[in-house]
Structure 1
Amino acid sequence: MTFEEIADSLLEGSKSSGCPFYEKYEPYEILGRGLCSVVRKCVEKTTKTPYAVKIIDLTRKDNLQATEQREAGYNEIRLLKQCSDHPYIITLHEAFETPAFLFLVFELCPNGELFDLLTQKVRLSEKRARVIMRQLLESIAFLHSKGIMHRDIKCENILLSDSCDIRLSDFGFATVYDKNVIYKELLGTPGYLSPEMLKANSYENQPSYGLAIDMWACGVVLYTLIAGSPPFYNRKTIYMLRDIMNGKYTFSGAEWEDVSSECKELVERMLCVDPTKRITAHEALQQRFLQSTDTVQIRTAVSRVKSVFHAIRAIIRMRRLSRTPQPICKQTLSTKPYKHKALRKLIDSSAYNLYGHWVQRTDEQNRAALFQCFLKPHQAPSLKRRHRLLSDSQLTSQ
């Protein structure tokens, strides 16, 4: 049986045994999978509010592994509670525990992962990348101010909320940094690992890594957003890790031709091999690339449709407004009646019905005659003759 089948069977057992999570929430489709966890969409039964629940499997064959998973879950809960007031860090709603599972209920980010956006767009513009990186670095600066080291920053762990703001998630590898502790564990995704982490894990007598590893991962994220591909990639992992330790990457390619020097400079300062010379989150937020006043947001398909709909409504209203006659005051009506096109047409058509011919527009004297309440003497006989001819023709036809 696969991990998902085992998890579903155990979940059914928890559901039937009166698990408090199932008493309050209704689970739905799977949103993502981890090594020993599954993320599902769930809906609170009373309020119908959607959430995302991370279900951590605690039923491991090795009791030591089960204990480690439980401790990692407790650690994630503790760290997320410290970060609950930050707008760009995922919010933990509540948590439940059973002998088999640990349920962590988070806010739902309907726009998915940043990695999914890159899959659709391939690469982002500098304006969009600037907005994302500013929010990401603000969250990292907040974590580092509390001494928290994330250790797993990547595009898959950056979620997009309903308003398209980011939410930094997955604190399973996060820990509170202690200067007296030597960190040598190799944690995270290979393409985002920092040189000092690789060296500390591979060689003896190497110094411990610290908070700077998060800034290296942020540099990889920025490079990937702009170029559409990671800075360090090779089918053979050993070659990729060697390039990471040497800081070997390039700005070659057509995608980098139009990129500003400020953006490239920030990438270089983040992907600095020496962690003591690497830029910090607070320093990065002061860089020129992130100091722009652009407020470009990532627009979803729904927001684009709404924008088109409002634009069409505005065009229709403007056309209707241009065809609507403007109000005419009494003074204009008595002094300049020909100023308005609609009134001018009305006067000319009425004059034609009265005089039997159109008045020349350039002849102001004849136009003045239109306002006389009586017929001119030389026009009266012609009208009488016309009536007489009309009467004779009617008699002849009869």
Structure 2
Amino acid sequence: MAKEEDDDNLPDKDAAKEFYAKYEPKEIIGRGISSTVRRCIEKETGHEFAAKIIDLSQESQDGVDTHTMRDATRQEIHILRMVAGHPYIIELQDVFESETFIFLVFELCKNGELFDYLTSVVTLSEKKTRYIMRQVLEGVRYVHSKNIVHRDLKPENILLDDQLNVKITDFGFAKVLNDGEKLFELCGTPGYLAPETLKANMFEDAPGYGKEVDIWACGVIMFTLLVGCPPFWHRKQMVMLRNIMEGRYSFTSPEWADISDDPKDLIRRLLVVEPSERIDVHESLMHPFFNTVAIKSGGFNARAKIRLAFVVVRAAVRLRRLPHTAAQAVPLVDALRDPYTMRALRKVIDGCAFRVYGHWVKKGEGQNRAALFENMPKTELKSLYVSNLSR
């Protein structure tokens, strides 16, 4: 195994002899508070995997009890084995446990987190969002069929394999539910928490929550994929939590101008405050957003084909003669006044925002990438746009 400066967290050979006998650890590909993820190679086959090495030593737990960490990890292993075999859920290959370390060997997803992929492309098209969300919901449906609630669905916990297929991961907060059981613990990630999760923590008479919280999280994920920013974000966390409790979000930002009605309708049905009225995973997958039109195959009709060709050519000629189809320059005065509302400039702005900030740019108490130009002097704006428009 190659030596690295960050190898000081590797366990001793006695504690890891079984793991080292079967796998050869390589470079670090991820870190957690008490764990390290390394690419590793199975010696016998040469296949690549990802090994999550969990440090159970007292000094590395940052106040977390060793027994609690071990029990939680064993619970996660139990749930991972319950949901094994589904194409859109991460596959646990091997487990090695010692006094101070636990090794979890997973399939390797070379395209990393959906979050990082989204950051690189800014937003996803409706077609790509449909592809991703169908797989996420299929995975969630399988998890729910085992009476398991994930409780921490978010782009960071969705990995992408070589073909950009979804792999739901990180079942650390997942819980097996008994019939009719409700949960009350506050766990998950703030921006993806469902209203009933917050209520269960805030009010003594709250009814608790169940698998519906995963459906809410899917709505947040879908919203974020389409426009590159989450629906309830606010710089003040208390305001963000109030927005979640009230289901307060909108499709009014310029990013939504090019989005059709079907995805908006599905998001509205996913982000319903009352869980009993929220669409379930089966209904979600039946939504028109996921419907595809099948093209019926029939016998060849030469006359119909020729007629269709004439119609297409005639339409193309007429469209070519229309004045609005000619390339038109973007008026500089319009670009200076409100650049982000102009479709031609929106992608340029998106790319600039991510290259400069590396994250979504905030505007006032909301969030909007148009804020990149809010405090820029007019002369600098003019110089920037003249440069972009002249390309």
Provide the TM-score with structure 2 as the length reference.
Answer: 0.70
| Partner residue in 2 for 1:50 | 48
| Partner residue in 1 for 2:30 | 32
Q: Distance in 2 between matches of 1:65 and 1:180?
A: 31
Q: Distance in 1 between matches of 2:98 and 2:220?
A: 38
Q: Is the 8 A contact 1:52 1:106 kept in 2?
A: yes
Partner deviation per Cα, 1:126-157 (whole Å, 9 max, x = no partner): 00000100011011111111101001100011
Partner deviation per Cα, 1:33-66 (whole Å, 9 max, x = no partner): 2232222211112221110011222113589721
Bigger Cα displacement from structure 2, 263-272 vs 19-28 = 19-28
Q: 1:185 to 1:17 in 2, by over 3 A?
A: closer
User: Offset at 1:84?
Assistant: 1.5
User: Offset at 1:19?
Assistant: 2.4
Q: Is the 8 A contact 1:10 1:100 kept in 2?
A: no
Question: Secondary structure at 2:292's aligned position in 1?
Answer: coil
Q: 1:279 to 1:53 in 2, by over 3 A?
A: same
| Partner residue in 1 for 2:216 | 216
Q: Distance in 2 between matches of 1:32 and 1:195?
A: 31
| Partner residue in 2 for 1:232 | 232
| Partner residue in 2 for 1:11 | 10
| Partner residue in 1 for 2:18 | 20
User: Offset at 1:168?
Assistant: 0.5
User: Offset at 1:267?
Assistant: 0.2
User: Offset at 1:172?
Assistant: 0.8
Q: 1:119 to 1:64 in 2, by over 3 A?
A: closer
User: Offset at 1:281?
Assistant: 0.5
Q: Distance in 2 between matches of 1:151 and 1:227?
A: 23
Q: Distance in 1 between matches of 2:11 and 2:143?
A: 37
Partner deviation per Cα, 1:155-183 (whole Å, 9 max, x = no partner): 01111111211100111111111245441
Q: Is the 8 A contact 2:15 2:100 kept in 1?
A: no
Unmatched runs of 5 consecutive residues or more in structure 1: 295-398
| Count of aligned positions | 289
Q: Distance in 1 between matches of 2:293 and 2:105?
A: 35
Question: Secondary structure at 1:257's aligned position in 2?
Answer: helix
Q: Distance in 1 between matches of 2:29 and 2:195?
A: 32
Q: Distance in 1 between matches of 2:114 and 2:183?
A: 29
Q: 1:258 to 1:195 in 2, by over 3 A?
A: same
| Partner residue in 2 for 1:157 | 157
1:215-364 paired onto structure 2 within 5 Å: 215-292=215-292
Q: Is the 8 A contact 1:90 1:167 kept in 2?
A: yes
Query: Is it true that 1:113 corresponds to 2:113 in the alignment?
Result: yes
Q: Is the 8 A contact 2:11 2:101 kept in 1?
A: no
Q: Is the 8 A contact 2:16 2:98 kept in 1?
A: no
| Partner residue in 2 for 1:139 | 139
Runs of 4+ in 1 over 3 A off after TM superposition: 7-10, 61-64, 179-182
User: Offset at 1:102?
Assistant: 0.8
Q: Distance in 2 between matches of 1:290 and 1:195?
A: 26
| Counterpart AA for 1:203 | F
Q: Distance in 1 between matches of 2:16 and 2:33?
A: 26
Provide the TM-score with structure 1 as the length reference.
Answer: 0.69
Cα RMSD, aligned residues only? 2.0
Q: Distance in 2 between matches of 1:210 and 1:217?
A: 13
Q: Distance in 1 between matches of 2:7 and 2:239?
A: 39
Q: 1:18 to 1:94 in 2, by over 3 A?
A: closer
Q: Distance in 2 between matches of 1:170 and 1:8?
A: 24
| Counterpart AA for 1:11 | L
Identical amino acids, percent of aligned pairs: 51
User: Offset at 1:194?
Assistant: 0.7
Q: Distance in 1 between matches of 2:249 and 2:74?
A: 38
| Partner residue in 1 for 2:176 | 176
Q: Distance in 1 between matches of 2:83 and 2:164?
A: 20
| Counterpart AA for 2:212 | A
Q: Distance in 2 between matches of 1:66 and 1:293?
A: 54
Q: Is the 8 A contact 2:54 2:101 kept in 1?
A: yes
Q: 1:262 to 1:68 in 2, by over 3 A?
A: same
Q: Distance in 2 between matches of 1:36 and 1:134?
A: 33
Q: Highest CA radius of gyration, 1 or 2?
A: 1
Q: Is the 8 A contact 1:198 1:245 kept in 2?
A: yes
Unmatched runs of 5 consecutive residues or more in structure 2: 295-391
User: Offset at 1:26?
Assistant: 1.4
Partner deviation per Cα, 1:222-278 (whole Å, 9 max, x = no partner): 000001101011111111111111111110122211211111010011010000101
Partner deviation per Cα, 1:272-303 (whole Å, 9 max, x = no partner): 00001011100100000011259xxxxxxxxx
Q: Distance in 1 between matches of 2:188 and 2:117?
A: 21
Q: Distance in 2 between matches of 1:50 and 1:98?
A: 23
Q: 1:18 to 1:160 in 2, by over 3 A?
A: closer
Query: Is it true that 1:67 corresponds to 2:67 in the alignment?
Result: yes
User: Offset at 1:105?
Assistant: 0.3
Q: Distance in 2 between matches of 1:55 and 1:30?
A: 10
Question: Secondary structure at 1:229's aligned position in 2?
Answer: coil
| Partner residue in 1 for 2:308 | none
| Counterpart AA for 2:276 | T
Question: Secondary structure at 1:276's aligned position in 2?
Answer: helix
| Partner residue in 1 for 2:125 | 125
